[in-house]
């Protein structure tokens, strides 16, 4: 059965350790994707490698560390990368298109919608869209993180049936197999728990198994949007088809959730929260399991400065994020009425247009 597949390939799979493109590898991956396309699948590629491809060409002896040097290397390398992809896919009679994105593109619902329509037209015409971060203008604080996050956002945007994140490790292990020979691979993960995050390596940790933290982050975004994820190796002919068929060399992240609307995707993963509110156990249950709106009576604490219409994070009594929503109150108004019943709120506060602090239609659960 044909499906829509997003494939992410990292720099280490496309370039040599000392820099420059591994054109043989690019031709191999292009051939694997061409086989999937010939079988009727729609293919979208998220690629890294621009900086690695360009730094030798520009004259740097090693991979640059300064932002402006990396941006210069990416400007050279991106052209080389696309040229190589065009040649590789062209040998199979496939046209490719380049889409360079930044995180701010996903922060705008209008830009997201425009990008989605462009991608749909490209797929309709049989073109393979190739996505990369626009490294020449991105700043380090806003980068996607080795394009793993970008691939998840793209998969959600196009409502893909598969996200395949290809790496140099064959999945997530209970420990780093390079240091712990008795480490066991997780073939399937049905829920991304705190234990899974700890195994993958915490934020800022140097203990992660092959950079798996960012891949688990990406899997969490994609699966919340209803897209199952594979993280693993593709090194031999037929491996990519095996990954699609569920028999790949790696770890599968399952999901039973349905795809998210573009509005919910933006709210959950691309919007910028301007504050946070803590809610009691009853409000947490109503939001995450009951499908109800948040009322002032369930609000325990307010942090930050925000206005009605802004996005805020919602925390439970254990200070863990359970979701995001669009707030209907200014922060000073909410501080004044937190913990009150709806009737008291209505009597006490002027110019309140809605009693709901966050309406259920303006909410997404992230727990």
* CATH number reported for the structural domain that contains residue 322 in this entry: 2.30.130.10
Question: Of the candidates 214, 238, 263, which is a domain's last residue?
Answer: 263
d(CA 322, CA 80): 43
Which pLDDT score is estimated for 207? 33
Residue 329 sits in the same domain as residue 230: no
Q: Are 146 and 8 in contact (CB under 8 A)?
A: no
Which pLDDT score is estimated for 138? 67
Which pLDDT score is estimated for 204? 37
User: What is the domain count for the chain?
Assistant: 2
Question: Of the candidates 263, 286, 318, which is a domain's last residue?
Answer: 263
Residue 346 sits in the same domain as residue 221: no
Residue 67 sits in the same domain as residue 29: yes
Residue 54 sits in the same domain as residue 94: yes
Residue 30 sits in the same domain as residue 158: yes
Residue 18 sits in the same domain as residue 160: yes
Which pLDDT score is estimated for 139? 62
pTM exceeds cut of 0.85: yes
Residue 208 sits in the same domain as residue 328: no
Which pLDDT score is estimated for 143? 65
Residue 203 sits in the same domain as residue 326: no
CA 330 to chain centre: 30
Owner of token pair 């390079």: 178
Residue 333 structural domain: 272-365
Residues of the chain above pLDDT 70, percent: 93
Q: How many angstroms separate the most distant Cα atoms in the chain?
A: 72
Which pLDDT score is estimated for 271? 86
Other C-beta atoms closer than 10 Å to the C-beta of 12 total: 19
Residue 250 sits in the same domain as residue 297: no
| DSSP secondary structure of 14-71 | HB-TTSSB-HHHHHHHHHHHHHHHHTT-EEEEEE--HHHHHHHHHT-SS---SHHHHH
Residue 12 vs residue 302, higher pLDDT = 302
Q: Are 318 and 194 in contact (CB under 8 A)?
A: no
Residue 44 vs residue 146, higher pLDDT = 44
Other C-beta atoms closer than 10 Å to the C-beta of 76 total: 19
80 pLDDT higher than 60:
yes
Q: Are 201 and 172 in contact (CB under 8 A)?
A: no
List the single range of 82-86, 138-142, 236-240 with lowest mean pLDDT. 138-142
Residue 124 sits in the same domain as residue 227: yes
Question: Of the candidates 223, 245, 263, which is a domain's last residue?
Answer: 263
Give the contacts of 330 (CB within 8 A, at least 6 positions apart): 306, 307, 308
pLDDT tier for residue 350 given thresholds of 50, 70 and 90: low
- Determine which helix (DSSP H) or strand (DSSP E) holds 97, and give its type and residue range: strand 96-101
* CATH number reported for the structural domain that contains residue 178 in this entry: 3.40.1160.10
- Tens-digit pLDDT profile for residues 87-141: 999 999 999 999 998 887 887 778 888 899 999 999 999 999 999 988 777 665 5
Residue 83 sits in the same domain as residue 166: yes
Residue 245 sits in the same domain as residue 302: no
């Amino acid at each position: 059965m044909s499906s829509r597949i997003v494939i992410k390939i990292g720099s280490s799979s496309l370039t040599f350790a000392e820099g420059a493109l591994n054109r043989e590898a690019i031709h191999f991956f292009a051939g694997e994707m061409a086989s999937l396309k010939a079988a009727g699948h729609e293919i979208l590629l998220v690629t890294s490698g621009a900086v690695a491809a360009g730094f030798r060409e520009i004259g740097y002896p090693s991979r640059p560390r300064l932002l402006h040097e990396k941006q210069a290397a990416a400007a050279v390398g991106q052209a080389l990368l696309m040229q190589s992809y065009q040649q590789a896919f062209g040998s199979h009679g496939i046209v490719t298109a380049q889409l360079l994105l930044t995180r701010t593109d996903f922060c705008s619902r209008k830009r997201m919608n425009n990008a989605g329509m462009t991608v749909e037209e490209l797929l309709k015409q049989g073109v393979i869209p190739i996505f990369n971060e626009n490294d020449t203008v991105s700043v380090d604080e806003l980068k996607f993180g080795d394009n793993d996050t970008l691939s998840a956002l793209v998969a959600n945007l196009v409502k893909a049936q598969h996200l395949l994140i290809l790496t140099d490790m064959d999945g997530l292990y209970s420990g780093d197999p390079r240091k712990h020979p008795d480490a066991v691979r997780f073939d399937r993960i049905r829920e991304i728990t705190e234990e899974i995050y700890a195994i993958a390596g915490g934020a800022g940790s140097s203990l992660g198994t092959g950079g798996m933290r960012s891949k688990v982050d990406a899997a969490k975004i994609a699966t919340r949007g209803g897209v199952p994820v594979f993280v693993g190796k593709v090194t031999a002919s037929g491996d990519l088809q095996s990954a699609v068929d569920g028999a790949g060399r790696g770890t599968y992240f399952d999901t039973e959730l349905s795809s998210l609307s573009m509005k919910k995707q933006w709210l959950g993963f691309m919007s910028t929260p301007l504050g946070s509110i803590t809610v009691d156990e009853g409000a947490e249950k109503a939001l995450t399991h009951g499908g109800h709106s948040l009322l002032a009576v369930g609000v325990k604490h307010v942090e930050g400065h925000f206005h009605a219409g802004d996005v805020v994070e919602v925390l439970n009594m254990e200070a863990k994020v359970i979701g995001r929503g669009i707030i209907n109150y200014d922060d000073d108004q909410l501080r004044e009425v937190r913990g009150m019943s709806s009737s008291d709120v209505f009597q006490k506060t002027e110019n309140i247009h809605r009693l709901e602090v966050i309406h259920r239609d303006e909410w997404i659960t992230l727990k």
